[in-house]
């Protein structure tokens, strides 16, 4: 988990210096002209906007056997804040609940802690301690530490599985997750607000025309994504460099705002010729998605506000509410009140799952 010996410290310090040097003084042409990675293959293979799980794979999972399991390692980047910690603890609780169930191809788990030092949860959650970016390099956008943290983890950790699921602290796993990737493609959730065609003029600074049509950039972020480990090892350094370059470019920074790092991953995946199955059933986002259905993950990024009639008051604090941002300084208490009748299943399930986790995680709130 934590690695505190002198050799490791020197290795990390050297890595930080080397990465910083590569970012600031690259031996290659500027990022906007030549980014690492091969041209997109011209094989003619295309990916539908939405591809369901192939029927043969669905039957095999349902049967609980036959065929080799393709395990993936779940990785979650995190800071050392109270806000990040309680979400990671809830997330890991549900990971463990589903890890060994039928249909699961969930292997190991790592919280990639990019604070640079161990914390009090090292013994509760398997953790790799990564160094943050050098001071000031994230320009106040802490998410830029995510790709740099993945670069360190992928280079230094002994990862047994051949695939990686990149997840986030505010993900709750609803049921066992199979390996949704196949045929060299990643599997990713398509975000409606990631629209490469709309921003082609901006993206061409980082994805030149000789790399292929702008539609080769999938409408994804880096999470949730299941991707081959070797592919991610190639993508991650590019993702880091593209993220930093986008943040330093005023036009790009203004265009993408808080989703900048998501666009950077999508661009980097395309630069390395790694396409993605766009899997709508990967997750839901309450309160907009109202039913769990066949989804695997609840992403509780949006606040949920309702009156006592069960009617949404989104944009206005409701008589009943659940919003993770209400707990940025202190973890949510045990036994949160359930929403009133009429509130969608997704919101009810979310609160029940948070309550179960907090009731069973040792020393919650201490």
Which two structure tokens, joined as six digits, stand for 148?
A: 């740099």
| pLDDT value for 259 | 96
Asked if residue 55 has pLDDT above 50, the reply is no
Identify the band that residue 33 occupies on the pLDDT scale cut at 50, 70 and 90.
Answer: very low
- Return the pLDDT at 366: 78
For residue 328, what are its two tokens?
């940025």
Q: Provide the sign of the torsion angle of the four alpha carbons 200, 205, 206, 209, taken in this order.
A: positive
| Structural tokens at position 251 | 């036009």
CB 214 within 8 A of CB 257: no
What does the pLDDT average to over 177-192? 96
Token output for 190: 């398509």
Q: What is the pLDDT of residues 196-231, one digit of tens each?
A: 999 999 999 999 999 999 999 999 999 999 999 999
Span 81-127, pLDDT tens digits: 999 999 999 999 999 999 999 999 999 999 999 999 999 999 999 99
What pLDDT does residue 135 have?
A: 87
Instruction: For residue 185, give the nearest of 275, 252, 69, 257 by alpha carbon.
Output: 275
Helix (H, G, I), strand (E, B) or coil at 260: helix
pLDDT of residue 139: 85
- Overall average pLDDT of the 47-63 stretch: 39
Q: In angstroms, rounded to a whole number, what is the distance separating the alpha carbons of residues 180 and 276?
A: 10
Q: Which long-range contacts (CB under 8 A, 24 or more apart) does 332-340 make?
A: 332/86, 332/358, 333/358, 333/365, 334/358, 334/359, 334/364, 334/365, 335/359, 339/304, 339/306, 339/310, 340/306, 340/307, 340/308, 340/309, 340/310
Euclidean distance between the first and the last CA atom of the chain, given in angstroms as a whole number: 23
What is the average per-residue pLDDT within 319-345? 97
How do residues 145-183 score in pLDDT, each as one tens digit? 999 999 999 999 999 999 999 999 999 999 999 999 999
Answer for the pair 269, 276: CB distance below 8 angstroms, yes or no. Answer: yes
Residue 219 pLDDT: 97
């Amino acid at each position: 988990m934590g690695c505190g010996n002198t050799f490791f410290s020197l290795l990390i310090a050297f890595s930080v210096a080397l990465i910083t040097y590569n970012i600031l003084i690259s031996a290659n042409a500027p990022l906007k002209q030549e980014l690492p990675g091969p041209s997109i293959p011209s094989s003619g293979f295309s990916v539908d906007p939405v591809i369901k799980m192939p029927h043969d794979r669905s039957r095999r999972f349902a049967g609980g056997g036959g065929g080799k399991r393709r395990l993936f390692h779940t990785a979650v980047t995190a800071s050392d804040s109270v806000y990040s910690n309680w979400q990671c603890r809830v997330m890991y609780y549900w990971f463990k609940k589903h890890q060994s169930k039928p249909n699961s191809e969930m292997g190991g788990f790592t919280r990639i802690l990019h604070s640079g030092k161990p914390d009090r949860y090292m013994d509760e959650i398997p953790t790799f301690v990564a160094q943050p970016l050098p001071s000031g390099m994230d320009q106040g956008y802490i998410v830029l530490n995510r790709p740099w943290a993945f670069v360190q983890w992928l280079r230094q950790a002994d990862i047994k599985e051949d695939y990686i699921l990149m997840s986030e602290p505010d993900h709750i796993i609803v049921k066992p997750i199979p390996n949704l990737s196949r045929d060299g493609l990643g599997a990713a959730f398509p975000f409606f607000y990631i629209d490469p065609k709309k921003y082609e003029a901006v993206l061409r600074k980082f994805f030149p025309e000789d790399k292929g049509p702008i539609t080769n950039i999938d409408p994804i972020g880096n999470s949730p994504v299941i991707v081959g480990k070797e592919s991610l090892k190639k993508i991650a350094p590019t993702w880091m460099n593209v993220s930093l370059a986008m943040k330093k470019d005023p036009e790009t920074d203004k265009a993408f705002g808080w989703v900048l790092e998501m666009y950077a991953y999508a661009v980097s995946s395309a630069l390395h010729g790694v396409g993605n199955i766009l899997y709508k059933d990967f997750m839901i986002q309450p309160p907009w998605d109202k039913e769990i259905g066949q989804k695997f993950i609840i992403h509780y990024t949006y606040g949920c506000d309702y009156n006592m009639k069960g009617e949404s008051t989104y944009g206005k604090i409701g008589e009943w509410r659940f919003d993770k941002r209400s707990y940025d300084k202190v973890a949510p208490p045990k036994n949160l009140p359930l929403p009133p009748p009429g509130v969608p299943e997704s919101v009810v399930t979310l609160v029940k799952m948070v309550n179960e986790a907090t009731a069973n995680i040792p020393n919650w709130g201490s």
